[in-house]
Amino acid sequence: MLRKMALLGLSSVLLLAEITFAQPVASGTPNDDEWTLAVEAGAADGHSSQLGDPPLSQNFVTSALKAAAQIRNWQSHLAYTLQNGYPLSVSWIASDRDQAADALRLAAVATASDTDRTALQQLLTLFVNVQSWSDARIDDERNLRLATYYVSRSALDNDESFQKNLDCTNSLTAMLASGTLQQGVPCR
């Protein structure tokens, strides 16, 4: 069953990658006047749009924020279950994963620029990391190793992968909300 879930997750990621790289590149490039107007508009709106922080398209931002929320819900649902000592259900974990994958597909379809595709890659990395963490918890349950999570309230605080995914999600969400691609988002 775990192998089947891993294959489904991998096929979702491969499909997303295919969609991402199959997107047409927007024709034409903005001229200097358009860049200046965009920077001035960003400054007038209170956005800190610097030349090093290219803007993300609005449709992509909306879809990507929904995808990040679905990924967060998937991980949070599993964390809540562990913290409260409830048994894991492979079917609802798969349902949460599938909802996150569907939202990620919609974000992939909404990509309109190289900047969007770069941000999408960070979302894909987050998805794969949460998938790996989720699969590890299912494996822990099969091998009767979930006791650490059920007994200790601080188990998630000490779970490096879980904390890394939280940091990635929070940074990625902040970046998307700003509407600009930023360096240093901890999604590896």
**Which tokens hold the place of 60?**
């992509």
Total length of the chain: 188
What pLDDT was estimated at residue 18? 47
Cα separation, 133 vs 125, in Å, equals: 12
What pLDDT was estimated at residue 8? 47
Q: What DSSP string describes 35-55?
A: HHHHHHHHHHTT----TTSPB
Mean predicted lDDT score pLDDT of the chain: 79
What pLDDT was estimated at residue 185? 74
CB-based contact 168:185 (threshold 8 Å): yes
Q: Looking at residues 112-136, what average pLDDT do you find? A: 96
3-state helix, strand, coil in the chain (%, to 5): 70, 0, 30
| pLDDT band with cut points at 50, 70 and 90 for residue 187 | confident
Percent of residues, the chain, with pLDDT higher than 70? 72
185 φ/ψ angles, rounded to the nearest 5 degrees: -70, 125
116 or 11, higher pLDDT: 116
Burial label, 128 (beta-carbon count in 10 A; 0-12, 13-18, 19+): middle
The answer, as to whether pTM is greater than 0.75, is: no
Q: Looking at residues 69-88, what average pLDDT do you find? A: 95
Query: Residue 103: what residue type?
Result: A
Structure letter (DSSP) for residue 27: S
What pLDDT was estimated at residue 53? 62
Contacts of 105 (CB under 8 A, 6+ apart): 12, 15, 16, 19
Per mean pLDDT, which range of 8-22, 76-90, 112-126, 135-149 is the poorest?
A: 8-22
The CATH number of 2-21+56-178 is 1.20.1420
pLDDT tens figures, 32-61? 343 333 333 343 344 444 456 679 999 999
| pLDDT band with cut points at 50, 70 and 90 for residue 184 | confident
C-alpha pair distances (Å), 138 with each of 45, 95, 119, 148, 160:
46, 14, 29, 14, 17
